[in-house]
Structure 1
Amino acid sequence: MSAAAEPLDSEAGYIEPEGLGLLRRRAPGQSVMEELFAVRGSSDARGAVARFFGVSLLDAASRPWYWGALGERAVGRTLSALGPEWTVLHAVPVGERSADIDHVVIGPTGVFTLNTKRHPGQKIWTAKGTFMVAGTRYPYLRNSEHEAVRAGKLLSAAVRHHVTAEAAIVVVGAQQVTVKEKHRSVAVLTERQLLRWITRRPVVHTQEQVALLAAAAAQPSTWRRAPSELRDPAEVARSFEALHRLVEQARRRRVGWLLAMPAALASAVGALPF
């Protein structure tokens, strides 16, 4: 809903059915964590030798899902600093397949759809409709624009008033983000810029409007005609945190072996007779 839209009120607007609002409990990154477990499972299937040498638990198929979850969880932590006048939904299932919106934020300054992209150590360059990571072009801007337009239409249908959603790509962990020229409708931000971008905009919604929009957005049927069963967020988060500890443990073990190898080699060379 833009500043020019008709005001919402509790008589004409959307009223949240009692006992619903299931999306409010979704964990940041929940969709990608579920995909990760579908690809590789949640247990450690390595043997004793593999664990001893710190062999990675992640293969080429599971690694992007794991990285994606780390990025969305980081943005989720940033968004948790917003005050009580804001509603933040994570991993919102949308459409007929497995698509989701990483984060939907609703508050006094508008409705926002956030697309998190984690590219640790990479250089990001963007201008108009081009988004490049280390020299490779990605369709992030087009996808984010489409996501916001779809979110606006779905929320408009739910509250029976025009709703405009604004899009942003939130880049996590990049070495450098260069915005040469701004896109017409999608902001490209770092984690550090996110809260300022959301909160320093003009106020366009009253407290009542925010409440009505938030109630509609928290309803799974707003986003999908036949919402799928939603897994327990706490269970998914616990499984991911356990996997994350194992992944970090394996990484530290690999680093330890790499650091130990030169010393062991030097010791062996020193023991050789000359």
Structure 2
Amino acid sequence: MTTRDPTEQFGSTPAAAVIAACLQTQSSVPTRSGVSRLFGRSPLSDDSRPWYLGALGELQVAQQLAKLGAGWTVLHSVPIGERGSDIDHVVIGTAGVFTIDTKFHEDARIWVGSKRLLVSGQKTDHLRNSRFEAQRVTRALTAITGLPIDTRPVIVLVGIRSITIRERPADVAVLRDTELVRWLNRCPTTLDADVRERLTIALGQRDHWAAPSVQAPEVDIQAFAALRHEVDSARRARALWVMTIMAGSVAVAATLAVNAYSSLLRG
């Protein structure tokens, strides 16, 4: 049964779309056996794992955005268009309007140039897609308010091993999740209080963004929390087995060394 807070407001649930997709995909995965649990096999399937990691990334960035002060408005999982697409986070403050595209790349090495972003050496469309999202928000807010709006795209990287900035893109900010709030707070003021209020009102109305045919995702927060607990428990079990095997290997090696030394002394 889906768990939804009856007081929940539009844009208040981080990672709503990816959590819903993750749980939908995971629903067809067979329950793990006792042996699988014992040895720490992950409950995630190959298909559900990308959705799961995407949800973790968006939740992590939402935690960072919660640190912004009262002068900021933050919406999560903002639907846009007629195909069920959404924008991870949209932020409005004195510094302007920002779309935030979260990317969870576990243990990856990131390379950033003015026109390319590589993940462990592989080309991506991250810069292009981020620009496209910002353009869509600009068009929507301009049409709603009649104001000339400029939306800045931001790519936030979660879970990466390292990042090399060869040349920063002129129009897209690329940041680690831990850098985001400080970066936003340092951006210069571009909006006065009246414009910011008009934009905040426009942003907070779902019918301005998604087509009537696009339904809000049903998000079972409790089910995702349970899945997350299972994944974490499996990871701990695997780590325990690794340590046990390593300890056993060391003990065997030590025993062999002692026996060899004893044989040498007797010889």
With structure 2 as the length reference, what TM-score do the two structures score?
A: 0.85
1:52-94 CA distances to partner (integer Å, 9 max, x unpaired)?
Answer: 2221111211111111111111111000001111110011111
Match of 1:163 in 2: 149
Match of 2:31 in 1: 45
Deviation at 1:186, TM superposition (A): 0.7
RMSD: 2.5
Report if the CA contact (8 A) 2:82-2:214 is conserved.
no
Match of 2:85 in 1: 99
Once the two structures are superposed, the pairs formed by residues 15-164 of structure 1 within 5 Å of their partners are 22-25=9-12, 27-41=13-27, 45-164=31-150
Percent of pairs with identical residues: 36
Alignment match of 2:161 (pick from 167, 175, 183)? 175
Aligned structure 1 segments of 4 or more residues deviating by more than 3 angstroms: 262-271
1:31-57 CA distances to partner (integer Å, 9 max, x unpaired)?
Answer: 111110111129982122222222111
Q: Which amino acid aligns with 1:256?
A: L
Q: Which moved further from structure 2: 177-186 or 98-107?
A: 177-186
Q: Which moved further from structure 2: 199-208 or 131-140?
A: 199-208
Alignment match of 1:200 (pick from 186, 192, 201)? 186
Match of 1:253 in 2: 237
Larger Rg: 2
Deviation at 1:201, TM superposition (A): 1.7
With structure 1 as the length reference, what TM-score do the two structures score?
A: 0.83
Deviation at 1:131, TM superposition (A): 0.5
Match of 1:16 in 2: none
Higher relative contact order by CA 8 Å / sep ≥ 6: 1 or 2? 1
Once residues 240 and 232 of structure 2 are traced to their aligned partners in structure 1, the CA distance between those partners, rounded to angstroms, is 12
Matched residues, number: 251
Gaps of 5+ in 1: 1-19
Once residues 42 and 215 of structure 1 are traced to their aligned partners in structure 2, the CA distance between those partners, rounded to angstroms, is 40
Once residues 229 and 42 of structure 1 are traced to their aligned partners in structure 2, the CA distance between those partners, rounded to angstroms, is 22
Deviation at 1:263, TM superposition (A): 4.4
User: 1:48–1:86: structure 2 CA closer, same or farther, 3 Å change rule?
Assistant: same
Gaps of 5+ in 2: 1-6, 261-267
